[in-house]
């Protein structure tokens, strides 16, 4: 859970106490929002958490694509796979198997 008292800090404080912040990031796995002149400017997080975030975003994109395809199929906006494959083979000059 995001903790405003711990997870929002100034960039200058982060620079002065980088080692402590790195330890916090590794320990809590929570991002830290860094401010400049009181305005949120940067988010810092550990690499493991960032990797999980990327994987989650990729999964969400895949789910959106599947939902979009299912909607298209539902509305008759799809074609049989063998027809599409035949067209691609023809377009790229690949002989039939």
pTM of the model: 0.68
Task: List pLDDT tens digits, range 62-93.
Answer: 999 999 999 999 999 988 889 999 999 999 99
For residue 92 the two structure tokens come to 């790229």
The single residue listed with the structure tokens 């988010």 is 43
Please, what is the average pLDDT of the chain?
A: 93
Residue 32 burial (CB count, 10 A): 20
Ordered by start, the domain boundaries in the chain are 4-45, 49-92
Rounded (5°) CA angle 30-32-36 = 170
């Amino acid at each position: 859970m995001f903790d405003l008292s711990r997870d929002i800090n100034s960039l200058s404080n982060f620079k002065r106490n980088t080692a402590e912040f790195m330890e916090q990031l590794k320990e809590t796995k929570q991002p830290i929002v860094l401010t400049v002149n009181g305005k949120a400017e940067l988010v810092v997080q550990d690499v493991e958490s960032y990797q999980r975030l990327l994987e989650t975003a990729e999964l969400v994109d895949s789910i959106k694509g599947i939902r979009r395809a299912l909607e298209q199929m539902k509305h008759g906006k799809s074609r049989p796979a063998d027809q599409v494959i035949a067209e691609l083979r023809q377009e790229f000059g690949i002989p039939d198997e």
